[in-house]
Amino acid sequence: MSDQVSKEEKQALKKKLKEERKELRAAKKIERQKRLEEQIDKDPLKFKDWCTLEGIRAEIKNIHWLTKKELAVDSGVVLAFTVILGLFFYASDAVIALILKALGMN
């Protein structure tokens, strides 16, 4: 008799978990649909508006232009990485050449 009770309890628990998963999937589906609706552009004439002078001026106002300090820092980072990678590839080439020379394949 205890086996029947435990089986019934297990079946009830499985059914309950299945229903909870089903509800969770439905909630996630609704959430995805809401996010998708938010991303969809509801104004089909937006591109046409952008092609006007007023639209272009409005778009230019939204651009984040770099300050001199930001430009200098970004340029320094690019130059530093260029030098570091140049040294890395030079050293790698030198090591490979040394190995090939030691093997007599030069």
42 shares a domain with 6: yes
Rg for the chain, CA atoms, rounded: 32
Domain containing residue 38: 1-63
Task: Give the model's pLDDT for residue 98.
Answer: 95
88 shares a domain with 38: no
Q: Is the pLDDT of residue 94 over 70?
A: yes
Task: Give the model's pLDDT for residue 59.
Answer: 82
45 shares a domain with 4: yes
Q: How many domains does the chain have?
A: 2
What is the CB neighbour count within 10 angstroms for residue 8?
10
pLDDT band at 63 (very low <50, low <70, confident <90, very high): confident
Task: Give the model's pLDDT for residue 92.
Answer: 98
83 shares a domain with 40: no
Q: pTM for this one?
A: 0.43
